[in-house]
Structure 1
Amino acid sequence: MDLSYSAEQSAFRAEVRAWLADHVPAAPLEHFDATREGFEAHRAWERTLNAGRWGMVTWPEDHGGRGLDLIQWLVFEEEYYRSGAPGRVNQNGIFLLGPTLMEFGTPEQKARFLPPMAAGDEIWAQAWSEPQAGSDLAGVRATAVRDGDDYLLSGHKIWSSRAVFADWAFGLFRTPGSERHKGLSLILFPLSAEGVTVNPIAKINGHVGFAEIFLENVRVPAFNRLGDEGQGWSVCMATAGFERGLMLRSPARYQEAARRLAALYEAQGDKADTGLRARVARAWMDAEAYALSIYSTASRLIAGGSIGPESSTNKIFWSEMDIRLHQTALDILGPRAELLPEAPDAGDVGDWLDDYIFALAGPIYAGSNEIQRNIIAERMLGLPR
């Protein structure tokens, strides 16, 4: 990608690259949702990042960041993925809840929740979906009943990412008697609280990346409500904008995958298969196009703009691009693509199969692509419901 960077941005890139070269673990960490030990190893890495003030560079310095802008964050992400650094175990916190706290939180809430989030001392799970409310988020049934200075939380959440080993969750709750978008509130609650039961949900690879959460009269202070009571839908849509349109899937993730795909094609691809070559080229161009789009969005936000329904177009693009890219890798590998890396005849298959299986979930999480197309039709194109 041909972008012009300022001298300050180039110096920042060099600083990031040097720090990562000195600190990225020499051996890959066990995946954070495989075991408690793997999770804690990633927590330790978050603490290492925080010690260098790299946990979230856009946050204010007094909350553990560097006070930098979104362009510098994108530069950091490019170097982060290029270095092969560990995946971020606290991405639900720093990339989703953190920016939402910046926008809707009180000074006291920011002081309470942001520093331990940046430090990895409190790892966050997202507790929005319910058995009857997945993509239709306004259909949540879990309730928050006010009791003096507290709320009593009750209900059933499911597909809560990171919840098996996490410390806290941010959940969407309904005031009894309210309907659909009205009366929803976003409330933060500790997963260790009395009345909380967390049941792991194993993925196809055996890792417990998700959980269902049962809440029975869980008492939390009203201080933990983010935004006004009944403002939860607006707060959650801001979080969803960060999730779909900017921070959850930074372009560097796909640029690095496209580089790996090109290298795989050069090493093992059938050069006579022009269709395969075109698919590799498309994966590269799609990753670069997505990066340019996100740079444009970041520039607009720096200038005072906001993330609107166009975040749905980004979500569709990156989720479908991810599947195509990894399907191409499996086709290059041929029959060996079905083997796990530790299989005797696997050779250098890498993690392409595992990453492909994860990519298949992309059109579902962060709001299914069917719902995103409805949003585009109604809110961007003005089509009837």
Structure 2
Amino acid sequence: MATLAEPQAGSALDDFRAEVRSFLEANFPPSLKGKGNALASVEGPTRETPEMTAWRKAMGERGWGTPTWPKEYGGGGLSKAEARVLADEMARVGAWNPIGGMGVMMFGPTLLEYGSEEQKREHIPGITMGEVRWCQGYSEPNAGSDLANLQTFAADAGDHYVVNGQKTWTSGGQWADKCFCLVRTDKSDKHKGISFLLIDMTAPGVEVKPIKMISGMSPFCETFFTDVKVPKENLVGQEGQGWTIGKRLLQHERTNLSGGGSRLQMSGPSLADLAKKFVGEEDGKIADRDLRARIAKWEMDWRAFQLTAMRVMAESKAAGGVSEVSSILKTIGTKLGQERSELIIEIEGLQGLGWEGEGYSQEELNNVRAWLFGKATTIYGGSTEVQNNIIAKRILGMLDHQ
């Protein structure tokens, strides 16, 4: 099968593979196998253990948490072929990337494209080391799907802006160090009046109030800005360029929310193993024939999606970055994620209905909460309906009919 990676001498890749294996053997604790990324967790970064911290620092120092980012800013500087080797070797031993969060998923790639040299050198290293946590200031109470209707205003005060307004659904806002935020700098133009501003979450006048979800978690907040002073050097791009930059960032977000390009299976046990445990097996197969067929279909759909996503991302990178195709990945990837959670709940039967108390394992309780949390994935980052409009207009070339 032809590879999508750029040509590279086999011996060089073999040497790099040996380097990766040696690094993993020396730095990845076997006790962390199957664990999650605390930095990217919706429950916040407080669950990071000393072993996780050591693993994060080891990966960050190599730049391998952001393997293809430029080396001069703390990234790995790896080629696509080397990055694939790194991902394969990590998957082989059950290692996971300890560098994550919105800085990696969304803000970092956007700043690398639109930020000044000073901004890149100031902000990118903290992301590549997993030391600075970012949150997103986009949605507002009266500007959800119609994001361009946002009203948070940044008044020009000479060498700084004074920001007043409110954001909502600020994921991880209560744990974040900094916020990349869309603000209005001109009230006379809906789209051209928007700018992209970086705000310190510890600045006077910033207040966050966590929102509790049906799952019992509070992964996001209401965020209030009251006379918050923001230095002019925290403006990314030019005034009025925020809508363009903000849309670009959303393409990165949708690609990552979909699981696009992932070379790993979704976290947790395989559906087949789970079904054999709860439903039973006959001759090594899942006992329930109908369930067996539906799990097989999901596995094929997920694998096809992974391969498609890898191809799309490789093509997009060759063309200069993510594109509107991210809307396809987001729509399909989140749908498959929801289908998997539904299957898990069905497989577990009565054990898939627990919320708290005795009689349920922690894994079973986590699966229920993950199932409920997953309902939001087809809404945040741009709802499925919004993605379908983007696909229709910008990919299929369909026009609105009055």
Counterpart amino acid of 1:327?
E
| Matched residue SS, 1:334 | helix
For 2:117 and 2:258, how far apart are their aligned partners in 1? 25
Note the C-alpha offset of 1:242.
Answer: 1.0
Q: Which residue of 1 aligns with 2:283?
A: none
For 1:104 and 1:222, how far apart are their aligned partners in 2? 16
User: Larger deviation: 61-70 or 28-37?
Assistant: 28-37
Are the structure 2 counterparts of residues 33 and 379 from structure 1 closer, same or farther at C-alpha, using a change threshold of 3 Å? closer
For 2:225 and 2:362, how far apart are their aligned partners in 1? 47
Gap regions ≥5 residues in structure 2: 281-285
2:313 aligns with one of 280, 298, 306: 298
Note the C-alpha offset of 1:39.
Answer: 5.9
2:381 aligns with one of 363, 366, 375: 366
User: Larger deviation: 332-341 or 75-84?
Assistant: 75-84
Note the C-alpha offset of 1:256.
Answer: 3.7
Note the C-alpha offset of 1:328.
Answer: 0.9
Q: Which residue of 2 aligns with 1:330?
A: 345
Q: Which residue of 1 aligns with 2:271?
A: 261
Q: Matched residue pairs, number?
A: 385
For 2:261 and 2:273, how far apart are their aligned partners in 1? 19
Q: Which residue of 1 aligns with 2:148?
A: 138
What are the Cα deviations for residues 215-243 of structure 1, in whole angstroms up to 9, with x where unaligned?
Answer: 01211111111111101111111111111
1:1-385 to structure 2, matched below 5 A, reads 7=10, 12=16, 15-16=19-20, 19-20=23-24, 22-24=27-29, 26=31, 28=35, 32-34=41-43, 37-38=46-47, 46-70=56-80, 72-73=82-83, 76-77=86-87, 80=90, 84-85=94-95, 90-246=100-256, 249-252=259-262, 255-257=265-267, 260-269=270-279, 271-339=286-354, 343-346=358-361, 349=364, 351-385=366-400
Decide whether the 8 Å contact of 2:28 with 2:55 is kept in 1. Answer: no
What are the Cα deviations for residues 272-310 of structure 1, in whole angstroms up to 9, with x where unaligned?
Answer: 433311221122112211221122123213433443222
| Matched residue SS, 2:161 | strand
For 1:363 and 1:322, how far apart are their aligned partners in 2? 10
What are the Cα deviations for residues 93-139 of structure 1, in whole angstroms up to 9, with x where unaligned?
Answer: 01210000110011111011111222222110111111111222111
Q: TM-score by structure 2 length?
A: 0.84
User: Which structure is larger by alpha-carbon Rg, 1 or 2?
Assistant: 2
| Matched residue SS, 1:328 | helix
Alignment RMSD: 3.1
Are the structure 2 counterparts of residues 295 and 173 from structure 1 closer, same or farther at C-alpha, using a change threshold of 3 Å? same
For 2:217 and 2:296, how far apart are their aligned partners in 1? 33
For 1:45 and 1:368, how far apart are their aligned partners in 2? 35
